[in-house]
Every structure is written in structure tokens, then in C-alpha cells.
């Protein structure tokens, strides 16, 4: 009963035909939380943990990280969801401490969850710090980035379970039942997406990387910007498939990439069944306005039409026309 009350107090956004869409914030720095709260966000859908460490020359200790994550939880409204992503080092996020890694293809290299699983002590310290800081909090979500296989996801979950076991033995206060989810950023997970949906508590689609890896076009390279097509039929089809699997297995599915704040894309995302959008706080008012003028049943028909397109130019045409009023 207490839960229901808390939920009522939270702001909610609905489509014209009353489908509830949850709007969450992407946070890079703790200082951004204030704006998100002023704009009445429902929680945090992505806290990027690498940002405080970008310019440091060594990794912060477990205790130093604990203080940072404690600051995160202290600044967010109790009862709201807080999604903490484990280190997503490498690729476009170059952490000074890891610049000893020299690779010809950093985007395809030892980055993100791969880095964490290779350097277990760093991974464990981070998980322990997050769960210690989350002690006593509800709705804490731990999220692993760049998952490429079921095996990798299970290994990451196992490391978390070991951390919890260890903290129990040591009598260290911590959160022992976070929701554990994954970012969907690699096309490789599509083949076994149903099994992922059974193992994960939630999905969050990182469209920035998903498009990059689906189309083989660097997300930050202007020279191939014309090949980085957010409405490419393969991207649309992938997103629809991920959403459908999440719906079948009754887990939350959000989009936290740049696509989530684009008014041209929001009707498609809602139409395929995405229920949560996580965006940079500055985009919240625009996203809220877009959701409020979207009609879910129209958006579903529109999504089906967009999914029928096999050519980029036809998809572009459908996108330009929009779902109609
Ligand atoms: C993404 O890839 O879409 C995402 C949200 O993560 P990041 O931009 O931090 O890589
Ligand atoms: Mg990403």
C-alpha cells in the first residue's frame, strides 16, 4: 500500500489514449540531477559512472566510489528508480588511466564490460561501492553495458553475486537484491533475445552504439555520418524485436540512446512497445510534449508500416510523413 502511494505522488506522462510512458534522466555528472528533479523526472534511467573518472590518472578506490554513488542516491528522490551502469570505459569514452591500452580499433576492442571482466578487481570494487551506497534504497538497478553473449551476462551477474556473498560474510551493509539488467547495444544479442529477456530484469537499448555496431558506422565520425542511419530498416527491425521479447517476458524495456529524445522517432518507439524513455534532462520538456501528443494505437499502426519498409529511402519517407494526428 505504501508503494502505491509513493507511485501516485510521482509525475506521470501519458499518450492521448492513456498509455503510460515513463520518462527518466540520463545523468553524467551529479550536478545534472537538480535540473532533472526540477523537471519532475520519474527517476534515473542511466547514470554513466565513467564520467567522474575520465581525467583521473588512477582508478578511484572502492571507498572513493562509495562516496560518489552515495551522493547520487542522496540527491535522488527516495522511491524513484535509479539505474547505475557499470564502467563503460573505452571506445568514445577514453579514460586516462586506460590509455596504456593501444588498439587499432578501440570501438571493437577491450572496452566496456569486456574491460571490467578482464580487470575483475576494478569491477568488484565498483559493484561493491554501488551496492554499499544503495543500502536501504528501493528500486536500484544495476546495468551492464555492451553485453555480447548470454555467457558474458551470466558471468557479470556471477561477479555481482560473489560481491554480495563476500559483503554478507564481512557484515558490510549493502543492497542485496538490486534489479540486474543489460544494455542492448550489439546486434549479436538479437539471435537469443528471448533467453536474455528471461535472465535480465530489464533491457535498456543504447541506440547510439546499437546503430554504430549494426551498420558498421562510427558514431562520432563525420565522414561516415551519412551511413549512420537511425531509421535504417535493420535498426528498426532490431528495436522492434527487442521490445517484443521484453513484452513477452514482462520486463521493462527502455531506450536511453539519443533516439529517445528525437520527436521524429518517439512515435515509432512507443508504437513498438517501448514504455520507458531515458534522456538528457535538458530534453525532458520536449519529450514530454511529444509523448502527450502521440496516439498509441496510431503509433502502433505507424510502427508496423515503418517495419514493412526494406529500403532506407522508403523508411525516410514514412518517417517524414509521421503517424498523423
Ligand atoms: C548508447 O550507446 O546509446 C548509450 C546510451 O550509451 P553511451 O552513449 O554512453 O555509449
Ligand atoms: Mg553505449
How does pLDDT run along the chain (325 residues), one tens digit per residue?
Answer: 344 444 444 578 999 999 999 999 999 999 999 999 999 899 999 999 988 777 777 889 999 999 999 999 999 998 999 999 999 988 877 776 666 678 889 899 999 999 999 999 999 999 999 999 999 999 999 999 999 999 999 999 999 999 999 999 999 999 999 999 999 999 999 999 999 999 999 999 999 999 999 999 999 999 999 999 999 999 999 999 999 999 999 999 999 999 999 999 999 999 999 999 999 999 999 999 999 999 999 999 999 999 999 999 999 999 999 998 7
Q: Are 302 and 240 in contact (CB under 8 A)?
A: no
C-alpha of residue 216 to centroid of ligand 2, in Å? 14
* Nearest alpha-carbon partner for 88 in 61, 49, 140: 49
**280 Cβ below 6 A of ligand 1:** no
Q: Measured between alpha carbons, how far is 318 from 300 in angstroms, rounded to an integer?
A: 13
C-alpha of residue 206 to centroid of ligand 2, in Å? 5
Question: What residues have CB less than 8 Å from 163, skipping those under 6 apart?
Answer: 124, 127, 128, 131
Q: Measured between alpha carbons, how far is 275 from 243 in angstroms, rounded to an integer?
A: 9
Q: Which atom of ligand 1 is nearest to the CA of 92?
A: 10
Q: Are 186 and 196 in contact (CB under 8 A)?
A: no
C-alpha of residue 207 to centroid of ligand 2, in Å? 7
Q: Helix, strand or coil for residue 182?
A: strand
Going by alpha carbons, the residue nearest to atom 6 of ligand 1 is: 206
Q: Are 91 and 185 in contact (CB under 8 A)?
A: no
* pTM of the shown model: 0.95
Q: Which atom of ligand 1 is nearest to the CA of 209?
A: 2
Q: Are 60 and 68 in contact (CB under 8 A)?
A: yes
Amino acid at each position: 500500500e505504501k508503494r502505491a502511494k509513493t507511485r501516485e505522488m510521482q509525475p506521470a506522462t501519458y499518450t492521448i489514449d492513456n498509455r503510460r510512458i515513463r520518462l527518466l534522466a540520463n545523468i553524467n555528472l551529479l550536478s545534472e540531477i537538480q535540473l532533472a528533479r526540477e523537471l519532475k523526472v520519474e527517476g534515473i534511467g542511466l547514470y554513466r559512472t565513467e564520467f567522474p573518472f575520465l581525467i583521473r590518472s588512477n582508478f578511484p578506490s572502492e571507498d572513493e566510489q562509495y562516496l560518489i554513488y552515495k551522493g547520487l542516491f542522496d540527491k535522488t528522490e527516495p522511491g524513484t528508480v535509479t539505474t547505475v551502469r557499470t564502467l563503460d570505459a573505452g571506445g568514445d569514452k577514453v579514460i586516462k588511466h586506460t590509455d596504456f591500452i593501444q588498439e587499432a580499433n578501440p570501438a571493437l576492442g577491450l572496452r566496456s564490460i569486456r574491460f571490467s571482466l578482464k580487470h575483475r578487481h576494478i569491477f568488484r570494487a565498483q559493484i561493491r561501492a554501488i551496492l554499499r551506497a544503495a543500502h536501504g534504497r528501493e528500486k536500484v538497478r544495476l546495468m551492464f553495458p555492451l553485453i555480447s553473449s548470454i555467457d558474458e551476462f551470466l558471468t557479470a551477474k556471477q561477479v555481482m553475486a560473489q560481491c554480495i556473498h563476500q559483503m554478507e560474510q564481512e557484515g558490510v551493509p549493502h543492497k542485496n537484491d538490486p534489479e540486474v539488467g543489460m544494455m542492448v547495444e550489439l546486434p549479436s544479442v538479437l539471435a537469443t533475445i528471448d533467453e536474455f529477456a528471461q535472465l535480465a530484469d530489464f533491457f535498456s537499448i543504447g541506440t547510439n552504439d546499437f546503430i554504430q555496431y549494426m551498420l558498421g558506422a562510427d558514431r562520432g565520425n563525420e565522414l561516415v555520418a551519412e551511413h549512420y542511419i537511425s531509421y535504417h530498416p535493420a535498426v528498426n527491425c532490431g528495436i522492434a524485436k527487442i521490445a517484443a521479447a521484453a513484452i513477452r517476458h514482462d520486463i521493462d524495456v527502455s531506450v536511453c540512446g539519443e533516439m529517445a529524445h528525437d520527436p521524429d522517432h518517439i512515435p515509432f518507439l512507443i508504437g513498438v512497445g517501448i514504455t520507458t524513455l531515458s534522456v538528457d534532462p535538458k530534453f525532458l520538456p520536449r519529450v514530454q510534449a511529444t509523448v502527450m501528443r502521440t496516439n498509441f494505437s496510431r503509433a502502433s499502426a505507424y510502427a508496423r508500416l515503418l517495419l514493412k519498409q526494406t529500403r532506407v529511402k522508403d523508411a525516410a519517407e514514412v518517417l517524414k510523413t509521421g503517424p498523423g494526428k
